[in-house]
């Protein structure tokens, strides 16, 4: 890092990024929420006041503390089986976080590899890869994920695999488009002339210059992955009870919606806040990383 | 233009074959033998098994099976449901109007609110309205719609008792449904209260399904408007002394609509995916609920056929949008 007196130097990329990212107050706010979410995901079971699956049979459907009949033992009330809502929400953070991380890693690494292949290969390979991606994109994503899970069997792992497959074409298209535009540039030609081998050309010369839109896409698909996994959980095709996954919690609580609003409201609110925070961050990332879209 | 249309149509063919291949492969990659699954718990004798195997063609080479499937699909033969024994094709088109009615209403809702919201936000850029509208749009965009549906049910069906919780119409009404669109059929039936009942059933699902497209359209309209408002011809219009209503409403909005129409077209896939959740929650008897039920019932021909038909529907819509885009935006045609 350079200090202020040496400001003639170009600031480090990280510092430049932070400069632009900080300008977007929503993004910084989103980053804070995301930080809390990540913290809960990592340390949830040690923070939660109760065990997430313990059933307090004499305290079923207890309302939150501010309502009549609620108390501080269960600050956000209990569910129909007498499990503490707050603890389940805190422990549930790790499932959503895990889904986001795993799905984005699989979808992005697979998608980037295929995008690079499509961009560097002869025309016929490119055509085949892109047609396959068109086929995947022709299906509504949630439907395809649902059918894939039906084939693989309902579980959180299979839901993650299905969502990753469904999200991956976006990375392929994005990477391929950037690769094709980078390949026109002089620095690639000079690297080629200098005798760079294909892997070096792909991963060291070209790829780093294609990363900006991919990072933005990663943030967006992180939130999509959380939403889709929750939706699959809600339909009974994701994490299975008694896992305190937020979508699964909603599904279990459905029949009690008119009697106990809190069992439905809080898990959904948790999903909304998390997804909102990630989308805010995504907007900030886009502002900071994509010079064309800056200050829109 | 003709070249553009032909070129676009040509890319349709391999995608269609690919989609067919996936739905064909679906039943063959399932764990377990489809014939055993179909037989259920009754079990099968060896002769009966061989008979069924021959009947479904599972004993022939895979490419022959695919060819037969493909030609069957092109003739509208998607097999019969395990559960109802009726052709998948007939079931699909019996339920499709319900989904179409809901989707069209959701889209109208999204466009009617989304376009003005985007325009207002763009014109008031950086001011209170812009911030308020865009924050709301971001919340809508991040909304888990299955939860949103439950919240609306708690408030409007539970506390206020304004709307029913499920179905398309109250059970006391009964009339023929030649079009399959409840709004039209209830109006034609002439029974008093039938139309109101249909509308009341439609309101919540429409809002739920329309929420994400609404947010997307509002955001897209705003950014398209902002881009257009910086153009020279807007400055010219302003210099001519036109009122700002005329400038924003006619000169700017018309040009901003091009990307917005694309977004609206591409939202059809989102709508169909959303319909899966919305229809399940509101027990709306459409394609989405039918697919989910069939997945749970392991009614594989239905899942297979429905998957294919939905994908083809989305592809046709996308193709139409691309064509329209070529008509509206002359720049595309020349490529």
The answer on pLDDT for A182 being more than 70 is: yes
DSSP string, B127-146: SHHHHHHHHHHHHHHT--HH
Convert the pLDDT of each residue in B287-302 to its tens digit.
999 998 888 887 888 8
Report if pTM > 0.95. Answer: no
Convert the pLDDT of each residue in B75-134 to its tens digit.
888 888 878 888 988 888 888 888 988 999 999 999 999 999 998 998 888 889 989 999
- The 10 Å CB-count burial string (b at 16+, else e) for B259-290 is bbbbbbbebbbbbbbbbbbbbbbbebbbbbbb
Q: Are A276 and B138 a contacting pair at CB < 8 A?
A: yes
Over residues B177-183, the mean pLDDT reads 78
Over residues B1-12, the mean pLDDT reads 78
Return d(Cα B221, Cα B207) in angstroms, integer: 20
Interface confidence, given as ipTM, is 0.84
Q: Which two tokens stand for residue B53?
A: 């195997």
- How many CB pairs below 8 A link A and B? 124
pLDDT at A169: 92
Q: Is B189 on the interface with A (CB under 8 A)?
A: no
State how far residue A135 is from chain B, nearest Cα, in angstroms.
Answer: 5
Convert the pLDDT of each residue in A225-264 to its tens digit.
999 999 998 988 888 888 888 888 888 888 888 788 888 8
Q: Is A150 on the interface with B (CB under 8 A)?
A: yes
The answer on pLDDT for A174 being more than 80 is: yes
State how far residue B61 is from chain A, nearest Cα, in angstroms.
Answer: 23
Convert the pLDDT of each residue in B214-258 to its tens digit.
999 999 889 888 888 888 888 888 888 888 887 877 778 877 887
Task: Give every CB contact of residue A245 below 8 A, 6+ residues apart in sequence.
Answer: A92, A95, A96, A156, A229, A230, A233, A238, A239
Return d(Cα A259, Cα A63) in angstroms, integer: 10
* Among candidates A138, A257, A279 on the partner chain, residue whose Cβ is nearest the Cβ of B19: A138
The answer on pLDDT for B334 being more than 70 is: no
Q: Number of C-alpha atoms within 13 angstroms, CB side, residue B187?
A: 7
Over residues A202-219, the mean pLDDT reads 86
Q: Are the C-beta atoms of B263 and B220 separated by less than 8 Å?
A: yes
pLDDT at A155: 87
Name the residue in chain A with its Cα closest to that of B313.
A138
Name the residue in chain A with its Cα closest to that of B298.
A150
End-to-end, the C-alpha distance of chain A in Å comes to 29
Q: Are A140 and B270 a contacting pair at CB < 8 A?
A: yes
Return d(Cα B148, Cα B209) in angstroms, integer: 10
State how far residue B124 is from chain A, nearest Cα, in angstroms.
Answer: 14
Tell which of B147, B229, B288, B305 to mutate to test the A interface (max A CBs under 10 Å).
B147
pLDDT at B41: 63
Average pLDDT of every residue of chain B: 83
Note the residue count of chain A.
296
DSSP string, A82-126: --BHHHHHHHHHHHHHHHHHHHHHHHHHHHHHHHHHHHHS-HHHH
pLDDT at B214: 92
Cβ contacts of A147 on chain B, cutoff 8 Å: 26, 295, 303, 307
Convert the pLDDT of each residue in B22-77 to its tens digit.
888 877 776 666 677 666 666 677 787 787 777 777 777 778 888 888 888 888 88
State how far residue A123 is from chain B, nearest Cα, in angstroms.
Answer: 15
Average pLDDT of every residue of chain A: 84
Task: Give every CB contact of residue B25 below 8 A, 6+ residues apart in sequence.
Answer: none
Backbone region of residue B180 per phi and psi (left: phi > 0; alpha: psi in -120 to 50; beta: other values): left
Convert the pLDDT of each residue in A90-132 to its tens digit.
988 888 888 899 999 999 999 999 999 988 888 888 888 888 8
Name the residue in chain B with its Cα closest to that of A249.
B147
């Amino acid at each position: 890092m350079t200090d202020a007196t040496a400001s003639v130097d170009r600031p480090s990329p990280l510092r430049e990024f932070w400069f632009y990212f900080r300008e977007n107050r929503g993004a910084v706010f989103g980053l804070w929420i995301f930080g809390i979410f990540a913290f809960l995901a990592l340390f949830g079971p040690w923070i939660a006041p109760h065990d997430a699956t313990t059933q307090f049979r004499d305290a079923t459907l207890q309302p939150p503390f501010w309502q009549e009949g609620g108390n501080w033992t269960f600050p956000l009330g209990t569910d129909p089986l007498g499990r503490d809502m707050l603890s389940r929400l805190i422990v549930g953070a790790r499932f959503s976080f895990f889904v986001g991380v795993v799905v984005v890693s699989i979808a992005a690494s697979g998608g980037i590899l295929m995008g690079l292949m499509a961009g560097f290969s002869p025309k016929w390979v490119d055509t085949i890869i892109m047609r396959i991606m068109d086929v995947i994109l022709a299906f509504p994503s949630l439907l395809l994920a649902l059918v894939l899970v039906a084939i693989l069997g309902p579980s959180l792992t299979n839901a993650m695999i299905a969502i990753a497959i469904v999200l991956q074409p976006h990375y392929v298209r994005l990477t391929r488009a950037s690769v094709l535009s980078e390949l026109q540039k002089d620095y690639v030609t000079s690297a080629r002339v200098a005798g760079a081998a294909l892997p070096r050309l792909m991963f060291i010369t070209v790829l780093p210059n294609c990363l900006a839109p991919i990072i933005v896409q990663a943030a967006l698909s992180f939130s999509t992955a959380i939403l889709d996994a929750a939706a699959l959980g809600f339909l009974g095709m994701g994490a299975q009870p008694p896992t305190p996954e937020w979508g699964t919690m909603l599904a279990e609580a459905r029949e009690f919606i008119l009697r106990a609003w809190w069992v439905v409201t809080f898990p959904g609110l948790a999903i909304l806040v998390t997804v909102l925070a990630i989308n805010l961050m995504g907007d900030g990332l886009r502002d900071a990383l994509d010079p064309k879209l800056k200050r829109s | 233009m003709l070249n553009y249309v032909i070129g676009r149509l040509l890319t349709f063919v391999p995608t269609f074959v690919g989609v067919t291949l996936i739905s064909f492969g679906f039943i063959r990659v399932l764990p377990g033998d489809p014939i055993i699954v179909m037989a259920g718990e009754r079990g099968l004798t060896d002769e009966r098994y061989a008979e069924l195997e021959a009947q479904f063609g599972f004993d022939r080479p895979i490419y022959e099976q695919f060819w037969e499937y493909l030609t069957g699909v092109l003739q509208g033969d998607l097999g019969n449901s395990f559960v109802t024994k009726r052709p998948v094709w007939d079931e699909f088109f019996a339920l499709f109007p319900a989904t179409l009615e809901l989707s069209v209403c959701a889209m109208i809702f999204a466009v009617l609110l989304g376009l003005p919201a985007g325009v207002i936000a763009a014109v008031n850029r950086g001011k209170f309205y812009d911030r308020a509208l865009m924050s709301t749009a971001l919340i809508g965009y991040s909304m888990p719609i299955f939860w949103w549906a439950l919240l609306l049910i708690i408030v409007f069906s539970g506390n206020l008792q304004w709307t029913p919780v499920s179905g398309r119409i109250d059970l006391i009404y009964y009339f023929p449904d030649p079009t399959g669109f409840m709004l039209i059929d209830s109006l034609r039936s002439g029974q008093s209260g039938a139309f109101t009942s249909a509308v009341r059933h439609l309101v919540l699902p429409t809002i739920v399904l329309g929420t994400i497209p609404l947010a997307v359209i509002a955001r897209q309209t705003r950014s398209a408007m902002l881009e257009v408002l910086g153009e020279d011809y807007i400055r010219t219009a302003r210099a001519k002394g036109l009122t700002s209503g005329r400038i924003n409403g006619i000169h700017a909005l018309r040009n901003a609509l091009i990307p917005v129409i694309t977004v609206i077209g591409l939202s059809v896939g989102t709508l169909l995916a959303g319909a899966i959740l919305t229809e399940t929650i509101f027990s709306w008897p459409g394609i989405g609920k039918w697919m989910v039920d069939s997945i749970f019932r392991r009614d594989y021909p239905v899942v297979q056929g429905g998957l294919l038909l939905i994908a083809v529907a989305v592809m046709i819509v996308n193709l139409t949008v691309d064509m329209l885009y070529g008509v509206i935006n002359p720049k595309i045609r020349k490529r």
